[in-house]
Structure 1
Amino acid sequence: MSSGTKAANERKAIRAAAAAWVVRLDAAPGDPSLRDDADRWIDADPRHAVAFAEAQLAWDAAPHIRLRDEEGQAEEATAPEEAPVPAAPLISRRAVGLGLLAASAVGAVGLGRLLLPGEERRATTRGEQSLTRLADGSSIRLNTATTLAISLSGARRKVRMIEGEALFDVARDPRRPFIVDLGDAEVRVIGTSFNIRKRADRTELTVTRGLVAVSDAEGQSIRVGAGETTLIRPGVLAVADPGEALIRQRTAWQDGVIELNDETIEEAVAEFNRYRDQPIVVADPRIGSLVISGRFGIHESREFVEALKSSFAIAAVTTANGSIALTGAEGPAPRIAPAPGRATE
């Protein structure tokens, strides 16, 4: 059996178990023993928690159904008295469970954003940054467009990173490990400082102090120390010593700065667009690979555009909705390499 087939089968089994737990809990809402068993199953694996949230969402999305237990006795779901609904068809609990599996298989809107029991949400909008201080003495600085779910207990400290970027400064507590759940990988520390940026296709981890352990869904595990970075994506965990320049560049955002060090214009534009409501668009393929260096404030995108215009044969047009289109200026196409100049702040 290939690793991909095995992983798919595991996901299917987890979804089936999650659906079963949701149905059992709904049938016996006052059973503390059952609730404890379910919580233990949820806590055993980050994938369990996500699957349970998916199943719960699908269940809650259909409040006006009549359920038939396995003995065939019907029970009416609660509906507001002032808004009666037509009688729904009778379906069995087994059918509902199968429906939950189907819903989770195709995905539901915003599943990753669901809060699990005991979690608190922290989020920033595009262009916003914020600092969250935790009761254990740790702090988390959130960069633009970031969403976290935080849960603290007597046994552990856990943050589920849903999207975005954050700098973690974790207070040391050997009795309670601090866990960052990335969905397809997990970062575990006792006390340290590190930056995580979760992109669409990969996650970048940069450790600035202490030591962290990283494990992924494939069973791989590595340790990353101060001054080191790792790239996390399915099947890939690799430690690198990038040097002080890259460490400084990856954490410059906490000082409100974008550092460019021989980035292409395409890459630089993508960085500024993280903080803009209306994007900068590279509308001319001739200029996308030009290289630029410099240091700008995160909201100095217009200064960045002016630097491009003064250093390259580039024109910028602001559209009616506020976006900026970059094109090659009239005349010969700009040279791609080597870069004709360096733009600075």
Structure 2
Amino acid sequence: MDSPSKARAEREAIASEAAQWVVRLSDDPDPADRARAEAWIDADPRHAVAFVAAEAAWDASPHARLRDTPAPPGAPGTTARPSVLSRRSLGMSLIAASMVGAIGLGRVMLADGDRHETRRGQQSVARLSDGSSIALNTDTRLDVSVDASQRLVRFIAGEALFTVARDETRPFVVDLGNARVEVLGTAFNIRKRTDNVELTVTHGLVSVIAANGQSTQVGVGKTTLIRPDVVATTDLDVALLRQRVAWQDGYIELKDETLEQAVAEFNRYRDQPILIGDPRIASLAIAGRFGVHDGDAFVGALQASFAITAERTTDGAVVLRRG
């Protein structure tokens, strides 16, 4: 069997096993089955991707109920089915659906070499032959090199989430310029800003090697700020972890960010920017959840909730001022 055929057969086998687990766990599963399913999910990033894809298909079928929506008291047939994913699998459940290209993300590319990039407002998924996947957020550029001797990504700009298949013989390396990230198999989100890099680990363990050679281990549920002379790691609670990776489901989550910070997030996806025309409103605390392309809805919510006016310029920009 040639290599592409073999890889396709492996994907089909994993997808079939994932579907069997979803069906088995769909109705009051035995705790032992749940534990075995979690072990299977954690064994390989491809298992988590396949499981969430199968679970999404099951939930979309006519018999499925929304698991996260409370039912009216006494409504028949509305008992929620608990998710099989435990807290330690939360990171994979948050990102895996986007990896199958079913939620929010656009093109899916086979990507073992050369430059891969997204334009402003675009998202896509690059799948590698080793079973790894890279979800690229808006305005992202990176170079990928995967062969028999190495797995290397040169991260140039933007934001991406990596789901790395485990390979003891070929560590997966992300070159950030002033530091590098090295793993065997795990999942993590990288956002490269003008003056720093923000790394969030959603599954497994990551090594960050600074330019001076100092190595820092970063585990699941932690975030690391990387500067040329500083590598600082802090804990994230579940809510903040969800916020960091909400873009993969097509959302911007705001939890008391300033208006200035919120506007900067929406402008990552807009050709016509939102501008703050009055510094007195820049520090307003904003909370809410919006689609990444719902900047106009965000502006409407500001006008309804605060004494803020919005004016559109001739070139399409939106200027916010105190009312």
Identity %: 61
How far apart in 2 are the matches of 1:210 and 1:198?
A: 21
The residue number in structure 1 matching 2:115 is 121
Deviation at 1:247, TM superposition (A): 0.9
- Shift of the alpha carbon at 1:218? 2.1
- For residues 101-143 of structure 1, the C-alpha deviation after alignment (integer angstroms, 9 at most, x for no partner) is xxxxxxxxxxxxxxxxx94111000000001100111000000
Counterpart of 1:210 (choices 204, 227, 235) is 204
Deviation readout 1:64-97 (Å, 9 max, x if unpaired): xxxxxxxxxxxxxxxxxxxxxxxxxxxxxxxxxx
- What residue ranges of structure 2 are gaps of 5+ in the alignment? 1-111
Q: 1:274 corresponds to which residue?
A: 268
Within 5 Å, which residues of 2 pair with 1:28-67?
none
The structure 1 residue matched to 2:313, chosen from 310, 319, 325, is 319
Q: Deviations over 1:175-206 (max 9, x none)?
A: 10000000000000000000000000100000
Q: Structure 2 counterpart of 1:166, which letter?
A: A
Aligned to 2:214: 220
Q: For residue 193 of structure 1, what is the amino acid of its counterpart?
A: A
Unaligned runs of 5+ in 1: 1-117, 330-345
- Please state whether the residue corresponding to 1:246 is helix, strand or coil: helix
**Residue 305 of structure 1 pairs with residue 299 of structure 2:** yes
Query: Which whole-Å deviations, capped at 9, do the CAs of 1:135-193 have from their partners, x for residues lacking one?
Result: 11100000000001000121210000000000000000011000000000000000000
**Paired letter, 2:194:** A
C-alpha separation between the residues in 1 aligned to 2:236 and 2:265? 20
2:122 is paired with a residue of what secondary structure? coil
Aligned to 2:191: 197
SS of residue paired to 2:264: helix
Count of residues paired in the alignment: 212
1:158 matched to 2:157? The reply is no
The normalised TM-score by structure 1 is: 0.61
Q: Look up the match of 1:287.
A: 281
**Paired amino acid for 1:201:** D
1:219, CA displacement in angstroms?
2.2
Distance in 2 between residues matched to 1:281 and 1:142, nearest whole Å = 26
Asked if the contact 1:220–1:237 (Cα under 8 Å) also holds between the matched residues in 2, the reply is: no
Does 1:143 find its partner at 2:137? yes
Which whole-Å deviations, capped at 9, do the CAs of 1:10-60 have from their partners, x for residues lacking one?
Answer: xxxxxxxxxxxxxxxxxxxxxxxxxxxxxxxxxxxxxxxxxxxxxxxxxxx
Q: CA RMSD in A?
A: 0.9
Q: Quick one: distance in 1 between partners of 2:167 and 2:205?
A: 14
Write the distance in 2 (CA, Å) between the matches of 1:268 and 1:216.
30
**Which residue identity lines up with residue 164 of structure 2 in the other structure?**
V
Matched, 1:245 2:239: yes
- 1:258 pairs with 2:252: yes
Q: In terms of Rg, which structure is larger?
A: 1
Distance in 2 (CA, whole Å) between partners of 1:264 and 1:327 is 15
Cα distance in 1, alignment partners of residues 191 and 294 from structure 2: 21
2: CA distance, partners of 1:281 / 1:205: 28
Q: For residues 284-340 of structure 1, what are the alpha-carbon distances to aligned partners after superposition, in whole Å with 9 as ceiling and x for unaligned? A: 0010000010000000000000111111110000111110000001xxxxxxxxxxx
| Alpha-carbon distance in 2 for matches of 1:221, 1:307 | 45
Per-residue displacement from partner, 1:196-241 (whole Å, max 9, x unpaired)? Answer: 0000010000000000000111222100011111000111111111
Is 1:231 matched with 2:225? yes
Regions of 4+ moved over 6 Å = none
Counterpart of 1:222, as a letter, is T
Tell me whether 1:168 sits opposite 2:168 in the alignment: no
Alpha-carbon separation, structure 2, partners of 1:297 and 1:181: 31
Contact kept? 1:214, 1:224, Cα under 8 Å: yes
